[in-house]
Structure 1
Amino acid sequence: MNNTVVKICGLQDVEVLKSMLNLPVDYIGFVFANSRRQVTAEGANILLQQLQAWQHETRPEGVGVFVNPDMDFLSKVMEQAPLDVIQLHGQEDAVFCEAVKRKFGVKVFKAVSVHSKGTENHSNSIDQHVISKDYVGVIDALLLDTFDPIYGGGSGQTFAWEKQIPHYQEWSSEHGIPLFVAGGLEPNNVGELITKYHPYGVDVSSGVETNGLKDIEKIKAFIERVKQI
């Protein structure tokens, strides 16, 4: 079985999560940033409780997705929804990432937004192919996602893998930081991504939805495709 880790992001529905309890999922993502998939801290806590009932041998870790949050907001969320990972999708610098890690005792994932045509979103503080070494020893994973001008990520579009992934892969490998790839992944293209680039993990949201809602059959198909390679 392939050891690429799987993150299913943008969960909102308890019943969908209950139907996933036997699946080999490594991370479940809850979006606290402005998005149609946004959840409240109260809602996320209800969903997080389902992770305790996971029946597969590995229990997924709960990931909260944020864009440029302040510490007060993170504190309010963490008081109600005890996340394992805080994923930062904005212009958060290494100092902020380190402060988050220290204050809450969680893993910190840093997302980099890249444009679908292969150019970088230069508003993102670390999206320059050459990432500041200040993040080394601070972040627990680097995540590539397709830039969305409204939400920052979650566009459902792929980016230019061949132009972007090798640069970040080299950086992440050099510094021992796991690399996740997101952006437009779905059951029909995730196999190609893994075969060509062998990322540490893959992250999917809209690619396992039907009419904007998580589809358990698509989730199963995505996971099966990842694990059978």
Structure 2
Amino acid sequence: MRDERASNQMTPPRLKVCCIQTVEEARLAVAHGAAAVGLVSKMPSGPGMISESRISSIARTIPPSVGSFLLTSARRVVEIIAQQRRCRVNTLQLVDRLDEGTYDDFREALPGISIVQAIHVVGEESLDEACDVARRGVDGLLLDSGNVRLPVKELGGTGRVHDWRISRQIVEAVGIPVFLAGGLRPDNVAEAIRQVRPFGVDVCSGLRTDGKLDESKLSAFIRSLRSVDDRA
């Protein structure tokens, strides 16, 4: 997941289509140029959850060049490692903070598997959290609009936009790939890219109609994504 863009050149960010429900949705996303798809396992709240057996079935159909992201709310490394071995994805997206084990434990147990840590941007303190996580050697960050402090945690899929000014600060500070998520839609993604300059963008509810991936919204999103020029 190396960031190949020169710092003075804007190219379209990688597209991650999240909340994939079926093999057909995964194929649709990949056919339209998605660099990654997100597969949501058990969560305390939010959309898109599917069983691990379905995640495994979908992951088997995804080309090796495309990121297959398992979104996990588990907080123990041993539990997450077991999930990956059942689901056979190539990327783990940790949507909550670890409370047992370290990122190095993943490296030892799962060589070749990428680790992306979600940071829920709630205020200026999120910059310090992102920098701390980046120093520990994750492969990337994903900036989302959840809230881990609520009685029932929000760990993604809120449809809310957070403060892109803080997200831009994180992108400039951490030196590793950063995906931007949270309330992105065809009508705001171009401005989000101009303001934040992320490595990639992540979208779930903004591409769905009646719970299904909407090809017309996907096409409109990609057109907007590709319309961004070098001016920031």
Aligned equivalents of 1:134, 1:179: Cα separation in 2:
12
- TM-aligned CA deviation for residue 137 of structure 1: 5.3
Q: Determine the structure 2 residue equivalent to 1:55.
A: none
Q: Determine the structure 2 residue equivalent to 1:155.
A: 158
- Sequence identity of aligned pairs in percent? 24
For structure 1, which runs of at least 5 residues remain unmatched after alignment? Answer: 53-57, 121-126
- TM-aligned CA deviation for residue 133 of structure 1: 4.0
Assess, with a 3 A threshold, how the Cα gap between structure 1 residues 93 and 223 changes in structure 2: closer, same or farther.
Answer: farther
Q: Determine the structure 2 residue equivalent to 1:113.
A: 120
Matched, 1:99 2:105: yes
Cα deviations across residues 5-59 of structure 1 (Å, max 9, x unaligned)?
Answer: 111111012222233342211111111131431122210121112213xxxxx83
Q: Determine the structure 1 residue equivalent to 2:94.
A: 88
Q: Is the 8 A contact 2:144 2:180 kept in 1?
A: yes
How many residues are paired up? 211
Q: Determine the structure 2 residue equivalent to 1:8.
A: 17
- TM-aligned CA deviation for residue 211 of structure 1: 2.2
Using the size of structure 2 for normalisation, the TM-score is: 0.81
Q: Determine the structure 1 residue equivalent to 2:7.
A: none
Q: Determine the structure 2 residue equivalent to 1:48.
A: 59
Q: Is the 8 A contact 1:6 1:202 kept in 2?
A: yes
Q: Residues 35-74 of structure 1 correspond to what in structure 2 (within 5 A)?
A: 35-52=46-63, 59-74=65-80
Assess, with a 3 A threshold, how the Cα gap between structure 1 residues 91 and 195 changes in structure 2: closer, same or farther.
Answer: same
Assess, with a 3 A threshold, how the Cα gap between structure 1 residues 198 and 93 changes in structure 2: closer, same or farther.
Answer: farther
Cα deviations across residues 114-146 of structure 1 (Å, max 9, x unaligned)?
Answer: 23xxx36xxxxxx54223546425101111100
Amino acid at match of 1:152: L
Q: Bigger shift: 183-192 or 193-202?
A: 193-202
Aligned equivalents of 1:42, 1:83: Cα separation in 2:
12
For residue 187 of structure 2, give the secondary structure of its aligned residue in structure 1: coil
Using the size of structure 1 for normalisation, the TM-score is: 0.82
| Cα RMSD, aligned residues only | 2.4
For residue 11 of structure 2, give the secondary structure of its aligned residue in structure 1: coil
Assess, with a 3 A threshold, how the Cα gap between structure 1 residues 191 and 135 changes in structure 2: closer, same or farther.
Answer: closer
Amino acid at match of 1:159: H
For residue 110 of structure 1, give the secondary structure of its aligned residue in structure 2: strand
